[in-house]
Structure 1
Amino acid sequence: MIAIDLISDVVPAIHKNDTASEALNWMDVFRVSHLPIVVDEEYLGLISETDIFDMNNPEKRVMDHELSLPRPFITEDQHIYEAAVLVAKYKLTVIPVLTTDEKYIGIITINDLAQEFSHLMSANNPGGIIVLELRTNDYSLSEIAQIVEGNDVKILSLYVKTTPTNEFVDITLKLNKNDISAVIQTFERYSYKIKATYADSKEIDVMLKERLDSFLKYLNT
């Protein structure tokens, strides 16, 4: 999925002559804390709610105040992972999208970004979940896939999380079947440490919600 496929057609850009109160009103309507300032397809910068409050003058033009953010954006052909990096780096609620020659074409909201990552995690597909813990040097995707597929099960998605020291990794596997007992037994036979398993649909929903909440927290902290 690239940036152009996730552009919102709802949240508008603001003009440099718009007032602080107008910008704040749009932020309130669309529940965002940032809006792009655009004039004739030229992206001038991203104004934040904090910038507006710092103005201390609701009738002041948005471009009469120095912006706190260094004009963040991604181009239309960049992957949404790169959008997530910028969102996390600058604590953004929207990320502007430009053409390769830097003409403004729209924005991606943090909610749309989170929803797309939910799809990438196959959150809406039925199936069990296994969380493995292993040393980073022992991680072999081919071996893990061989164990799973050897039990006539497919991996729908895989999520890797490293520890702060990079010594260990947690591997979260979303599988295409609810009955994952044979896969669990095979992992145990190969001495894999199984950190958690989820086969009940309610447990899976809770676990995936926690993963999504963790992702949103990462983007906003």
Structure 2
Amino acid sequence: MLAKDLISDVIPALRTSDTGMQTLNWMEAFRVSHLPIVNNKVFLGLVSDSDIYDAKNTEEPLGNYRLSLIKPYVYGHQHIYDVIEIASRLKLSLIPVLDSDGNYLGAITSHNLLHHFSDLIAAHTPGGILQIEVGVRDYSLSEIARIVEDCDSKILSLYLTQSPDGRQLYITIKLNRTDMLPIVRSFERYGYKIRAEYGAELHIDETAIRNYESLMKYLNV
């Protein structure tokens, strides 16, 4: 999933002749706190709402402002992970996208970014989520995939985080099934620690069912 495929088709590019008030109105309309200033496809920088609020006269054109312009951008061929990294690090509401010649192509909003990222991790696809724990040295993606596939299941998405001391890996797996009991038991047999399950079907063993039925019979006496 590349940056050029994430561009919003509604975000306007500002000109230096646009006023501060016009800029604020567009920011409010599109629910962003940054907008790009572009001159003949040349990206000049991002203007923020704080730049406008700091000015005394919002009717002045942007060209007359003393703007603290920042120039973050990604190229159209960069991956969505690069876009997320820059947006997160700089706390931006949108990211400009340039072509290989440096020409402005458009912008990616944080809303669009979240929407496409949710597709990337199969957030909208039905299924259960399992989080397991394993030592860094014991991590094997092929083994994890084999355990899941041996239970007639598929991995829809998978991502890793490390423990604070760096010794353990927390592996979050999105699966194509909600009945995860066979998979949980299989991971446990291989020595994996189960940290959490989400969206799993509720399992009640036969003993619990018999105890419940006995209680109901007793109450009906």
TM-score using structure 2 length: 0.86
- In 2, Cα distance between the equivalents of 1:136 and 1:56? 56
Q: Which residue of 1 aligns with 2:117?
A: 117
- Aligned residue type for 1:154: K
* 8 Å contact from structure 1 (residues 133, 192) kept in 2: yes
Matches within 5 A, 1:57-96: 57-96=57-96
Aligned length: 201
Moved more, 128-137 or 31-40: 128-137
TM value normalised by structure 1: 0.86
Alpha-carbon distance in 1 for matches of 2:125, 2:163: 28
Question: Is residue 132–residue 193 contact of structure 1 (8 Å, CA) maintained in 2?
Answer: yes
SS at 1:194 equivalent: strand
| Cα offsets for 1:17-53 (capped at 9, x unmatched) | 1111111110001000000001111111001111111
1:82 deviates by 0.6
Residues in 1 aligned to 2:17 and 2:137: alpha-carbon distance in whole angstroms: 56
- Cα–Cα, structure 1 residues 167 and 63, in superposed 2: closer, same or farther, change >3 Å? farther
Q: CA 1:65 to 1:139, structure 2 compared with 1: closer, same or farther past 3 Å? A: farther
Q: Could you say which residue in structure 2 is the equivalent of 1:182? A: 182
Show the counterpart of 1:210.
Answer: none
Structure 1 residue identity aligned to 2:158: L
Question: Residues 75, 184 of structure 1: CA spacing in aligned structure 2 closer, same or farther, 3 A cutoff?
Answer: same
For residue 5 of structure 2, what is the aligned residue in structure 1? Answer: 5
Q: Which residue of 1 aligns with 2:208?
A: none
Query: Separation in 2 of the partners of 1:165 and 1:60?
Result: 53
Partner Cα distance (2:88, 2:198) in 1: 29
In the alignment, the residues of structure 2 paired with residue 165 and residue 13 of structure 1 have an alpha-carbon distance, to the nearest angstrom, of 45
Q: Structure 2 regions of 5+ residues with no counterpart?
A: 202-221
Aligned residues: CA RMSD: 1.5
Distance 2:124 2:38 in 1: 37
Q: Which amino acid aligns with 2:195?
A: K
Q: Is the 8 A contact 1:136 1:169 kept in 2?
A: yes
- Structure 1: runs of 5+ lacking an equivalent: 202-221
Deviates most, 129-138 or 179-188: 129-138
- Asked if the contact 1:132–1:195 (Cα under 8 Å) also holds between the matched residues in 2, the reply is yes
Q: Which digits, 9 at most, give the CA deviation of each residue in 1:132-159, with x for residues without a partner? A: 1222232211111111111111100002
Letter in 2 for 1:93: S
Map of 1:19 onto structure 2: 19
1:36 equivalent in structure 2: 36
> 1:82 and 1:69 mapped to 2: Cα distance?
21
1:187-202 matched pairs, under 5 angstroms: 187-200=187-200
Task: Write the distance in 1 (CA, Å) between the matches of 2:164 and 2:85.
Answer: 18
Identity %: 48
Contact 1:36–1:96 (Cα < 8 Å) also in 2: yes
Change (3 A) 1:69 1:82: farther
Q: Quick one: distance in 2 between partners of 1:69 and 1:164?
A: 36
Instruction: Tell me the distance in 2 between the aligned counterparts of 1:69 and 1:180.
Output: 51
- TM superposition shift of 1:200: 4.1
**What displacement does 1:109 show?**
0.4
Contact kept? 1:14, 1:23, Cα under 8 Å: yes
* 1:43-62 correspondence runs (5 A): 43-62=43-62
Read off the aligned partner of 1:122 and give its amino acid letter: A
Superposed displacement of residue 54, structure 1: 1.6
Q: 1:127 to 1:44 in 2, by over 3 A?
A: same
CA contact (8 A) 1:45 1:67 kept: no
Q: Alpha carbons of 1:32 and 1:191: their partners in 2 closer, same or farther (altered >3 Å)?
A: same
- Closer/same/farther in 2, CA of residues 67 and 171 from structure 1, 3 Å limit: farther
